[in-house]
Amino acid sequence: MIAGPCSAESEQQVLDTAHRIAATGKAQVFRAGIWKPRTRPGTFEGIGEAGLPWLARVKKETGLLTMVEVATAGHVEAALKSGMDMLWIGARTTPNPFSVQGIADALRGVDVPVFVKNPINPDLQLWIGALERLQRSGLRRLAAIHRGFSWFDHTPYRNSPMWEFPIRLKAAFPDLELIGDPSHIGGDRTLLPGIAQHALDLGFSGLMIEVHVDPDFARSDADQQLTPQAFEEMIRGLTFRQAQPTVGMRDRLAELRGLIDRIDEEIAHKMAARMELAARIGDHKRAHQVAIMQPARWEWIMTRLLHMAPDLDLSEGFVREFMDAVLRESIRRQTMEGAVTAPGPTAGSQATDGEGLDQG
């Protein structure tokens, strides 16, 4: 269990939070961001190296291991010099091969655990590539942090879980530890227990939870942080399943079928979202007297997916049959008068995004 504030804001805030987390007995590692990559300048971008001595005090006074995010070789050097026990690479850094390689070079010959968050966009190869760069620098104590992906789906979550991605990553690296990050997946503290339980049910090795002594006044990501008391209550409410030894084919088959069931649920939810977009496109076309079927658009979709198929180890025949079925259902939804009944943006406000994602 990894817990701590999104950002180290002051020495008092860091120490108060750490001591209260330590008192729960529910965490082994204290996390805090001191360099905060933000989308736009002018927002709080972290306290910088000034926060490293605060974390050193946390370790000395509470016995918790300490962990910070690094995005450059300079960050790595400063963190190691101050005695940080663990490092993590954030979602904005993971997809940049130059940045990851710089971190990997700075860590060459250093035996320190490094955790790699998934990239912001759902690209498994970028996630794998970051781990491989670290491995090639001699790092062996690696783990992956699943924090969800930015996606167009209208879901309750800040970042779509897309559980199939960590499952596929685990299939590629069976010995890799997976850590769930419910805080960034949910974006809302009320959603954290359910997401955390789902991760544990899938066999994740642990969780990273954002905990702040006074979350409502946090300088970053206030909505997704828990108080130390709420953190303790959440952990006490989770079910930690004992790992059962796999004996014979029957147990292994049941395990694999369980993973398939999870992925099938994800597929069903995504197809439902896709068909809702198709219906919105149909309403928009109907309002502007545009023909439902647009052959050039569909040809572009099919060509793009067939080009992707070999990299995904999917046969051309399967892709064609599957997408033909999708086309038939999309046309059916678009020809239904007033198909969109769910609350949300109007059909017109969705049309531009929808045309880029559906049959159109």
Q: Are 116 and 134 in contact (CB under 8 A)?
A: yes
Burial zone of 119 (CB within 10 Å; 0-12 exposed, 13-18 middle, 19+ buried): buried
Q: Are 164 and 192 in contact (CB under 8 A)?
A: no
One-letter amino acid at 38 equals R
Q: 3-state DSSP call for residue 47?
A: coil
- Please give the Cα distance from 303 to 353 (Å, whole number): 20
Identify the domain boundary among 237, 270, 293.
237
Residue 277 belongs to some domain of the structure: yes
Residue 139 belongs to some domain of the structure: yes
In this prediction, residue 198 carries a pLDDT of: 93
Residue 360 belongs to some domain of the structure: no
- Token reading at 340: 């969109």
* Sign of the C-alpha dihedral computed for residues 202, 208, 212 and 216 taken in this order: negative
Residue 282 belongs to some domain of the structure: yes
Q: Are 228 and 235 in contact (CB under 8 A)?
A: no
- For residue 19, what is the domain's CATH number? 3.20.20.70
Residues 44, 161 within the same domain: yes
Residue 105 belongs to some domain of the structure: yes
- Token reading at 307: 């080009």
Length of the chain equals: 360
- Please give the Cα distance from 352 to 340 (Å, whole number): 16
- Token reading at 177: 């530890």
193-212 per-position pLDDT tens digit: 999 999 999 989 999 999 99
Which residues constitute the domain of residue 203?
A: 2-237
Q: How confident is the model at residue 287 (pLDDT cuts 50, 70, 90)?
A: confident
In this prediction, residue 349 carries a pLDDT of: 32
Residues 165, 61 within the same domain: yes
Q: 3-state DSSP call for residue 192?
A: helix
Residues 33, 170 within the same domain: yes
Residues 227, 148 within the same domain: yes
Residue among 81, 139, 91 at smallest CA distance from 114: 139
Residues 128, 157 within the same domain: yes
Of these ranges, 251-265, 317-331, 334-348, the one predicted with the greatest mean pLDDT is 317-331
Provide mean pLDDT across the span 161-168.
92
Identify the domain boundary among 237, 260, 275.
237
Q: DSSP H helical segments within the chain, as ranges?
A: 11-24, 52-62, 73-81, 97-106, 124-136, 164-172, 182-186, 192-201, 228-237, 248-287, 295-308, 316-334, 347-355
- Please give the Cα distance from 354 to 360 (Å, whole number): 8
Residue 243 belongs to some domain of the structure: no
Identify the domain boundary among 237, 270, 301.
237
Average pLDDT, the chain: 88
pTM of the complete model: 0.72
When divided into structural domains, the chain yields a total of 2
In this prediction, residue 259 carries a pLDDT of: 86
Bigger pLDDT: 147 or 36?
147
Instruction: Express as a percent the part of the chain with pLDDT over 70.
Output: 89
Residues 124, 254 within the same domain: no
- For residue 343, what is the domain's CATH number? 1.20.59.10
Residues 88, 200 within the same domain: yes
Residues 146, 257 within the same domain: no
Residue 320 belongs to some domain of the structure: yes
Provide mean pLDDT across the span 344-354.
33
- Please give the Cα distance from 273 to 281 (Å, whole number): 13
Residues 315, 220 within the same domain: no
Instruction: Express as a percent the part of the chain with pLDDT over 90.
Output: 62
Residues 252, 306 within the same domain: yes
Q: 3-state DSSP call for residue 239?
A: coil
pLDDT at 138 over 70: yes
Residues 317, 219 within the same domain: no
Q: In the chain, count H helices and then E strands.
A: 13, 8
Residues 68, 209 within the same domain: yes
